[in-house]
A and B are shown apart, each in its own frame.
Chain A
Amino acid sequence: DVKVTQSSRYLVKRTGEKVFLECVQDMDHENMFWYRQDPGLGLRLIYFSYDVKMKEKGDIPEGYSVSREKKERFSLILESASTNQTSMYLCASTSGSSDYNEQFFGPGTRLTVL
């Protein structure tokens, strides 16, 4: 059974804190993604990675960075958390070899920044 896991389901942080969100997949997928999901908006892509040590900016990268040191792990970093980063964060992965890129999602991390 394929699996994408995220380090926390719920997280509460204070403004200015550095926040790490971890994502691990066990499907040997090449591609990994970080999205945020807010009410009334579609999923918005923050960063993605097609390979180890490789990263690409998505639509809303400001205030975030990422790290992909190992194929199975993709971390999202909020360097200095702000209240407008309160959101649901979803990690996804997909195989680079598939004809279409069905994305497998983790359960999400609901982050609240106070």
Chain B
Amino acid sequence: GQNIDQPTEMTATEGAIVQINCTYQTSGFNGLFWYQQHAGEAPTFLSYNVLDGLEEKGRFSSFLSRSKGYSYLLLKELQMKDSASYLCAAMDSNYQLIWGAGTKLIIKP
């Protein structure tokens, strides 16, 4: 079956660094997405990885290891506005997205 696993909740301190992990099992693979979703709002796109390695975009970076079925989202210099849920989604061989349940990130002052 197809499956995405990510932690349910994480807590971090303002100004710190946090890493949100995601493991996936899909029928075929066409890339890994990360989305941010603030409470009561729509998910918004953060990153896309299809090749192994690290993609950096400002304070946010995303890493992919295809051989391990593993990705992480790294958030640096955390700000209070980063409090949100972070959704991991893998694209399967049919170009359909398989979604994780999301990781709720709580930032404390």
* Chain A residues within CB distance 8 Å of chain B: 4, 40-45, 58, 90, 100-108
Within 8 A of A (CB), among B1-58: 4, 8, 30-31, 33, 40-45, 48, 50
* Nearest-neighbor residue (CB-CB) of A39 within chain B: B101
**Which applies to chain B's interface (DSSP): helix, strand, loop or mixed?**
loop
A105 lies within 8 A of B44 (CB): yes
- Inter-chain contact B96/A45, CB cutoff 8 Å: yes
Contact A103 B50, beta carbon cutoff 8 Å: no
Say which residue of B42, B44, B95 sits within 8 Å of A101 (CB atoms): B95
Question: Contact residue range for chain B?
Answer: 20 to 34
Q: Is the CB of A102 within 8 A of B33?
A: yes
Given contacts A42-B102, A43-B99, contact A103 B45 (CB under 8 A): yes
Q: A100-B31, A105-B42 are in contact. List 13 more A-B contacts (CB 8 A).
A: A4-B42, A41-B101, A42-B4, A43-B99, A45-B97, A58-B96, A90-B42, A100-B50, A101-B91, A102-B45, A103-B97, A106-B42, A107-B41
